[in-house]
Structure 1
Amino acid sequence: MNQQQVCNGVQVTDISSASIYISASMPARGRTAVNILVEEIEKRTGIRLPVLDTPPADTRPVIAVHYLTEQGQNAPGPEGFRISTESRERFTITVEGADDRGVLYGVGKLLRLMYMTESHLQAPSSISLCETPHFPLRGHQLGYRPKTNAYDAWTPEIYSQYIRELALFGANSIEIMPPITDDDRTGPLMIYDPLFMMQHVSEVCDSMDLDVWIWYPNMGSEDNWYPASGNDEEFMKPDYLKLQLDERDEIFGSMKRVDHVFVPGGDPGALGAQDLFDFMAMQAEVLHKHHPHAQLWVSPQAFNPTDEWLNVFFENVRKEPEWLSGVVFGPWEKHSLPELRQLVPERIAIRSYPDITHSLSCQYPVPNWDTAFAMTLSRECINPRPVAQKHIHNSTKDDGIVGSLSYSEGINDDVNKFVWSGQDWNPETPVLDTLKEFARLFIGPQFEAGVSQGLLALERNFDGPIATSHQIPVTLQQWKAMEAIADEKVQNNYRFEQGLLRAYYDAYIQRRWIHEAELESKARDILAQAPSLGTLQAMELAEEMLDKKETEPVCAEYKLKCDDLADRLFEHIGAQLTVERHKAIGVIRGAFMDGIDLPLNDMAFLKDAFAIIRQLPTEQERLNALNDKIIHRTNPGIGGIYDNFALNHSISRVEHIHSWADDPGYLKTPLLRHNPAILQKALATSSTSTYTRLIKETLDRILPGLSSPPLAWVTYLNSYYSAPIKVTYTDLDPYASYVVKVMGLWGGRVRMLVNGKYADDTDVKYRGLLDEYPITPDQIPDGRLEIVWVNEESGVGPYINELWIIKQ
């Protein structure tokens, strides 16, 4: 009699005593899938199921794994599988794969359905599935290089296991990188040669029949590196070309398997479009010498490519060179996916290259992200966004693509990878189903509901202003409740640790934001008493109040918990959450723990200003500077309006041509962007960028010698390419004159219009940064003011931080 019970609401049968039955003639890759089934069950239960090539004589449960023998209407298609259960003489689970991959994915689905705990193995009592993947391409990039936030610390064994886990959720492709990309060949955590790791990943993929892709930018060689802003003439010289082709010859020749090579048009690399195609034709010959059936792909992605570059690119695509198999839709492309499909001949496939790893300054940024999170969590935090990822995926599912292979820089996007694979397999899959399978297989059946809902809660933490979020403390309570019942194995599970860390981190940042906002309010109240207290004493008392951030910190235990979890994640999966302790390449490359205590108010700006004002010779000069430059800096005066576009009421004035749901990549819609680095002392360095130079000049206009910008300058309105930015004000006095003052920056290609008329001088290369524009009553006869920035050449849009409407 089979022992049955209910687990997580599902009727299950105990199969701890089961054996696995396979045909004696099962091919090697089928046997590999069966070995994976045996090993993954043993890891979680301690039970090693025997594998038999004849049916067992007794009535104990059986898992039968076979290749599909019949074809028909109800049979799965390529890479598909069928799973069914039967209870007669014995309880039998039958897994039938349509091919080698179908067997693997059937085994993966069975593992995701089972309930595995120490010494116990259970399976749903009734299973009837027949599945075929929706997209033929489903994969992820796992590059072994210093820039990543974890992969460079991995061993071959970790790579093997992670690739296996991705395959169990339906991935059929892994993308790797050559030894030379746009960063160093090696780093402090890389103990293996990059070429060796490429070869290892190729062999692991081949053992499971996964496609091997190489992302291969045109960057030159270790001895003669070609920068992203390089010179085409140098790259295309015969000696240099030979160097590049010889390098590729060596790498391709050393790989057991290469199915596809993807060459980005830019980011990195900066060849002219014609040179790009000429070089790819040469590269094709080298590739096919070693891998005759390998395919070549190219993308039009580049940092702000010119119309001329794009025209030449698509002219070459339309020639349909024999070596070109596909075009890749990736970050920083100007065209939407439907537009790209119209530009590319039907014969040539299109693959998606979604950025699932970054949260800001990226292809799919978190919409209207609170500045406090943008500053502290930065660009590459632990970022489960399951609902958003499903929507982004499905917003392009009907645009004629063959599938996707995600852009990833490490382990921070782990959840997103599995969600994306689930949608690649079947876009109708509820995201909660994938999260439950993720939690059940990787953490344990007892945490299926808690972890799946906890991951959704972490995503909701990003909704709306941090100051008023009721979700953040609830999310922490959920994760702390799971932490309280977790055994040592779960406590040391890196996937559990990642969710737990984010829950504590978010709560700590919220508590700090509330605390530091109050400290700043009290400090400003003290500064308002400067006429009676004296400026020196007022500034001293205000500074003491601001310093309570350090002398009277809130929730210090949360920070200690985050530090401990960060160290454990480094130990368990190589996650590099700090630069010093964990050897991350930079704060924006995953080291968000280095931002955990960044000031969340204007503390740095105020204290910097105090130091300058103290040096002024007279009390009146100090008082004037304190009032005009600090206390009333944002005051628009009676009848005026001040907008900081990081604030909800300000962003509501911005016209959004499309909703986030319709344009998650912001190709046609303005967005909020963030530049957390601006608050750090980088402005005091010798940076020669136009933006940094103009920021320095503007700070000098506030107070000579000032080097710390106000918090409002971290977040700005922007458009990636040609989308206009429109801000509308109503109910102004139609009989009054006003001055519009703008803190922002835009180049000569961007024009500013006020109620339809140009307000700027096209001869000026850069405008903005506290520039002023007069508004006369005849311009606002109905009290309505529309300010529009239009990008006339489809380049990078303006940066708009603050805006004042000052009544005269």
Structure 2
Amino acid sequence: MTNRLRNNLKLCEVSDASMILSGPVSARGQNAVHILVEEIERRTGIRLSVLESVPNDQLPLISIKMVNSSSSPAYGREGYQIRISQSNGRRLIEIEAADDRGILYGVGKLLRIMVLTRNKIEVPTDVDLAETPHFSLRGHQLGYRPKTNAYDAWTPEIYSQYIRELALFGTNSIELVPPITDDERTGPLMKYDPLFMMRHVSEVCDAMDLDVWIWYPNMGSPDNWYPATGNDEEFMKPEYLKRQLEEREEIFSSMKRIDHILVPGGDPGALNAQDLFDFMAMEAELLNKYHPNAKLWVSPQAFNPTDEWLDTFYTNVRKEPAWLAGVAFAPWEKHSLPELRRLIPEGMKIRNYPDITHTINSQYPVHNWDTAFAMTHSRECINPRPMAMKHIHNLLKDEGIVGSLTYSEGINDDVNKFVWSGQDWNPDTPVLETLREYARFLIHPDVEYGVANGLLALERNFEGPMITNRQISHTLNHWRKMESRVDEQVLQNYRFEMGLLRAYYDAYVQRRLIHEQELEQRAMDVLYRANETGIMPAMEQAEETLNRKYSQPVCTDYREKCLDLADRLFAHIGAQLTVSKHQGVSITRGAFVEAIDTPLNDMAYLLSAFQVIRSMEEELARKEALDAIIYRTDPGEGGFYTNFAADQSLLRVEIAHEWKEDPGYLNTALIRHNPGLLETAYSILNGSNSHTLLSRETCNRILPGLTSPPLAWISNLSSYYSAPIKVTYSNLDSRSSYTLQVMGLWGGRVDMLLNGKSTADNRITHRGLMETFEVTPDMIPDGKLEIVWVNEESGIGPYINELWLKKDNG
């Protein structure tokens, strides 16, 4: 037995230890011991013996003891105590708990503080630690369905191991999804029947005494998956209702364990609120037939909830039916968590259901994310956001919740799951402590600090404009240094591979952004001189310049590294990072590496324009068309142009709350992104036109026949639900008239006010598509124009891409 210092921590080697159960331990407790033996052997090659009595030697001993809760231990429910000390010449490691889960979590904590390397087991020399979880609910959703970016490729063995690892970090609940959701029942990567996998996960969870949840939406016909709330009139008809209940009975009757069902009010689904509760009562009766103690939960989430729908929803909640355990605070809810608390009975439980998997168009989007990130990383990239996760978690921790069960669509949010579990266990836990344990136990002790700091660095990559973010190159250097020093075991670890891929990918995209922005500027310089050189030669030279993206690419070694890592991650954990090779559903559904070569300038817009202009016969017509393209954003003398893809444009926007106060943007305007428009827009490079009708029509307003929009349309100023948007222009000439032109989209009951004056026009369905509005001197007597969009009814919007305020110089 030897001692050494490691990172200022004194360690003691216990490679020759054995294990003993000190008194009766239940079957689940013994399963936890089995996990301890297996996980140590997995990392060290050493299999510890489990003895029936204390040996007579002085070799290290791990003692696991279940005590009676009435003995008032120093910990509470699901808690444990770990002591490591020198006793009678022997290194003694003790785990004590009063319930099965306590034994499991004590085993997990011991594994996380151990230093486990090939042929060696080390522990801190002196530990006396007693812990009890802060929240009673600590879970994650792991749905086996095609839409996810990894889970559908998993085997039962991978599921079992992943759930075990989550449990060892304090998770006590796993949520499944049924075979029929807003998705296909099966997919090309799914090797097992979805119901079989549900049964398997249920059994795995039961063996560790983890609660089993099912997220169970009320799926009508596909036309009613994402409609206006409350218009599904088919669902409650007898024949359809019979099919829905039969489907549920097949699942409920075949699963070993179900503790809770969460029924979303929408997203997907479209029942009116009364039908929702009437059906849940039927569902609860059926559920309790097979799982007598199981309860239902409900969430008021819906994309466009009317006031009537919400009133009916909360009226039913306040009736407190016996089958209803509580309400979930979920994505796409109109009310904040404190508001939700006030709307429901005082004693009713609230489950937090945070979206930790998405970066845009989500409950907690990345704050002011650069458009280049949105275009290349999309909605489900590998997204470690440890500091943001801790902040969001702790902002809500004192609002009367019982804990959290997170929304996840795959392996991309792996770090976020472990950080969230750590905060659910103890909100005071430093993020760095969780990341060190994550790296030490799940990757390798030698990269404990390197990976922990590398993950924090990846989060900082997202901050500010990509083109000027020096952190990105520092982050890559950090990961490359680790890559050059670690052995093959670490290089083949999928968690290390995910961090390494993101580091290379961010750096590659940044280098492309710099290169392609410069190419665009050079092309524009040529086009500005077209009157001298001729329109056709100028376009030919500009096109050749833009195509240097392909003929003179930058950092091709970074690109190849990213593609190689994508292949390795598909092989190691089923991560579907591309559509074309790894069968991901889409770029926005985790296959973000498919966007690795997406142009980061207005190349597609310009090439589309060139194609139109070349078809013109008259040079004057060509000149006028080219001027419309290259001077598109020019507001004229004394005018203003605002593009909400540009960071500085927020200077005109009233920010009601800082991100730290309102990370869910329930009461604050935000920058949103639509890379889905980009996917279709850039398909013209492959000879395909697949724009929506609105996009095509609006492109025609720039230049008839134009098929690709400018990049400015990818990002927009928007709001969730009823948060107003205000943009202010000051120092205007109060004696002059102006024309306000808006590129955006709104409709329904959204109104735009110009210094308080409504611009509503019920004759126009879609507003803002290059629409113009007159601003007269009497409207701006003080030289100030406030443009405000207000949403009179629940719903999302508007979307504002660009504003021109053109002065009438006549």
Q: Does 1:298 align with 2:291?
A: no
- Contact 2:644–2:802 under 8 Å retained in 1: yes
Q: Does 1:519 align with 2:519?
A: yes
In 2, Cα distance between the equivalents of 1:70 and 1:402? 22
- Contact 2:233–2:271 under 8 Å retained in 1: no
CA shift for structure 1 position 736: 2.7
Range with bigger deviation, 563-572 or 761-770: 761-770
Show the counterpart of 1:414. Answer: 414
Kindly report which structure 2 residues correspond to 1:31-430, keeping only aligned pairs within 5 A, or say none: 31-69=30-68, 71=70, 75-88=74-87, 89-219=89-219, 227-229=225-227, 232-430=232-430
Q: Deviations over 1:295-343 (max 9, x none)?
A: 1111111121111111111111111111111111111010111111111
Look up the SS of the partner of 1:666 in the other structure. Answer: coil
- Contact 1:81–1:102 under 8 Å retained in 2: yes
Q: Deviations over 1:389-434 (max 9, x none)?
A: 0111111111111111001010000000000000000111111100
Look up the SS of the partner of 2:522 in the other structure. Answer: helix
Q: Deviations over 1:88-111 (max 9, x none)?
A: 321111111121000000000010
Q: Does 1:570 align with 2:570?
A: yes
Amino acid of the structure 2 residue aligned with 1:507: A
- Contact 2:577–2:594 under 8 Å retained in 1: yes
CA shift for structure 1 position 763: 4.2
CA shift for structure 1 position 155: 0.4
CA shift for structure 1 position 135: 0.5
Show the counterpart of 1:619. Answer: 619
- Contact 2:303–2:795 under 8 Å retained in 1: no
Q: Deviations over 1:41-64 (max 9, x none)?
A: 111111111111211211111111
CA shift for structure 1 position 115: 0.6
In 1, Cα distance between the equivalents of 2:247 and 2:760? 51
- Contact 1:436–1:452 under 8 Å retained in 2: yes
In 2, Cα distance between the equivalents of 1:679 and 1:176? 32
In 1, Cα distance between the equivalents of 2:341 and 2:79? 27
**Identity between Structure 1 and Structure 2 (%):** 65
Kindly report which structure 2 residues correspond to 1:354-753, keeping only aligned pairs within 5 A, or say none: 354-627=354-627, 629-681=628-680, 692-753=692-753
- Contact 1:61–1:91 under 8 Å retained in 2: yes
- Contact 2:386–2:459 under 8 Å retained in 1: yes
CA shift for structure 1 position 23: 2.9
Look up the SS of the partner of 1:235 in the other structure. Answer: coil
In 1, Cα distance between the equivalents of 2:752 and 2:789? 4
TM-score (norm 2): 0.97
Range with bigger deviation, 124-133 or 693-702: 693-702
Q: Using a 3 Å threshold, how does the CA distance of structure 1 residues 684 and 774 change in structure 2: closer, same or farther?
A: farther
Range with bigger deviation, 46-55 or 773-782: 773-782
Look up the SS of the partner of 1:395 in the other structure. Answer: helix
Show the counterpart of 1:19. Answer: 18
Amino acid of the structure 1 residue aligned with 2:438: F
In 1, Cα distance between the equivalents of 2:692 and 2:717? 17
Q: Using a 3 Å threshold, how does the CA distance of structure 1 residues 374 and 741 change in structure 2: closer, same or farther?
A: same
Q: Deviations over 1:145-188 (max 9, x none)?
A: 11110000000000000000000000000001111111111110
Show the counterpart of 2:29. Answer: 30
Q: Using a 3 Å threshold, how does the CA distance of structure 1 residues 72 and 786 change in structure 2: closer, same or farther?
A: farther
- Contact 1:166–1:418 under 8 Å retained in 2: yes
CA shift for structure 1 position 74: 5.7
Q: Using a 3 Å threshold, how does the CA distance of structure 1 residues 703 and 232 change in structure 2: closer, same or farther?
A: closer
Amino acid of the structure 2 residue aligned with 1:641: F
Look up the SS of the partner of 1:680 in the other structure. Answer: helix
Amino acid of the structure 2 residue aligned with 1:343: L
Look up the SS of the partner of 1:723 in the other structure. Answer: coil
Look up the SS of the partner of 2:233 in the other structure. Answer: helix
CA shift for structure 1 position 73: 6.3
Range with bigger deviation, 2-11 or 164-173: 2-11
- Contact 1:371–1:715 under 8 Å retained in 2: yes
- Contact 1:220–1:244 under 8 Å retained in 2: no
- Contact 2:613–2:626 under 8 Å retained in 1: yes
In 2, Cα distance between the equivalents of 1:146 and 1:45? 36
Q: Using a 3 Å threshold, how does the CA distance of structure 1 residues 70 and 187 change in structure 2: closer, same or farther?
A: closer
Q: Using a 3 Å threshold, how does the CA distance of structure 1 residues 170 and 684 change in structure 2: closer, same or farther?
A: closer
- Contact 1:324–1:348 under 8 Å retained in 2: no
Q: Please, what is the CA RMSD of the aligned residues?
A: 1.8
In 2, Cα distance between the equivalents of 1:174 and 1:346? 27
In 1, Cα distance between the equivalents of 2:730 and 2:321? 56
Show the counterpart of 1:756. Answer: 756
Amino acid of the structure 1 residue aligned with 2:669: P
- Contact 2:231–2:272 under 8 Å retained in 1: no
- Contact 1:179–1:194 under 8 Å retained in 2: yes
In 1, Cα distance between the equivalents of 2:26 and 2:758? 72
In 2, Cα distance between the equivalents of 1:70 and 1:100? 12
Q: Using a 3 Å threshold, how does the CA distance of structure 1 residues 421 and 47 change in structure 2: closer, same or farther?
A: same
- Contact 1:144–1:177 under 8 Å retained in 2: yes
- Contact 1:218–1:226 under 8 Å retained in 2: no
CA shift for structure 1 position 70: 6.4
- Contact 2:604–2:682 under 8 Å retained in 1: no
Range with bigger deviation, 777-786 or 146-155: 777-786
- Contact 1:680–1:708 under 8 Å retained in 2: no
In 2, Cα distance between the equivalents of 1:396 and 1:55? 47
CA shift for structure 1 position 783: 2.2
CA shift for structure 1 position 760: 4.1
In 1, Cα distance between the equivalents of 2:186 and 2:273? 30
Range with bigger deviation, 652-661 or 227-236: 227-236
Amino acid of the structure 1 residue aligned with 2:74: A
TM-score (norm 1): 0.97
CA shift for structure 1 position 761: 3.0
CA shift for structure 1 position 435: 0.3
Q: Using a 3 Å threshold, how does the CA distance of structure 1 residues 4 and 407 change in structure 2: closer, same or farther?
A: same
Q: Using a 3 Å threshold, how does the CA distance of structure 1 residues 606 and 225 change in structure 2: closer, same or farther?
A: closer
In 2, Cα distance between the equivalents of 1:33 and 1:681? 51
Amino acid of the structure 1 residue aligned with 2:450: G
In 2, Cα distance between the equivalents of 1:29 and 1:70? 17
Q: Deviations over 1:319-372 (max 9, x none)?
A: 111111111111101011111111111232110111100111111100110001
In 2, Cα distance between the equivalents of 1:185 and 1:266? 19
Q: Deviations over 1:100-125 (max 9, x none)?
A: 00000000001000111111110011
Amino acid of the structure 2 residue aligned with 1:793: E
- Contact 2:328–2:350 under 8 Å retained in 1: yes
Look up the SS of the partner of 1:64 in the other structure. Answer: strand
Q: Using a 3 Å threshold, how does the CA distance of structure 1 residues 773 and 198 change in structure 2: closer, same or farther?
A: same
In 1, Cα distance between the equivalents of 2:526 and 2:514? 19
CA shift for structure 1 position 731: 2.1
Amino acid of the structure 2 residue aligned with 1:739: T
Q: Deviations over 1:537-573 (max 9, x none)?
A: 0000000000000000000110100000000000000
In 2, Cα distance between the equivalents of 1:225 and 1:770? 30
- Contact 2:681–2:708 under 8 Å retained in 1: no
